[in-house]
Amino acid sequence: MALEDIAAGIRTGLAGKTFDGSLKFDCGDDGVIVLSQGDASTLDRDTDCTLRLSSKKPAKAARRQAEPDDRSNDGQDQDLR
C-alpha cells in the first residue's frame, strides 16, 4: 500500500476531529506521513514527535490506535524499526 493511500485513509478517519501537536511516521526511503492540524499529509516537515518505521510496517502502524497516557517523550524521537 502506498503512503499516499495510507494518508488518505487516515485523513478520512480524522474528519471532524482535532488534536494538539504533530506526529510524523518516518518510513525511510518510502517517505513520511505527517499528522498535524487535523490532517494527514505525505509532505515532510518538522513535527513534535517522529516515529521511525521499517518499510514493512507503515500500514500496520498507521492502522493502530494509540491509547493516550500522561507520559511525555520530552522531545525524543522514537525508533520502531
CB atoms within 10 A of CB 14: 15
Q: Domain extents for the chain? A: 3-59
Residue 63, pLDDT > 80, answer no
Burial 37-75 (b: 16+ CB within 10 A, else e): eeebbbeeeebeebbebeeeebeebbeeeeeeeeeeeee
Cell of 67: 491509547
Which of the four pLDDT bands, split at 50, 70 and 90, describes residue 1?
confident
pLDDT digits (tens, 9 = 90+) for 2-46: 899 999 999 999 888 888 899 999 999 889 999 999 999 999 999
pLDDT band of residue 56 (cuts 50, 70, 90) is low
Cα separation, 20 vs 10, whole angstroms:
16
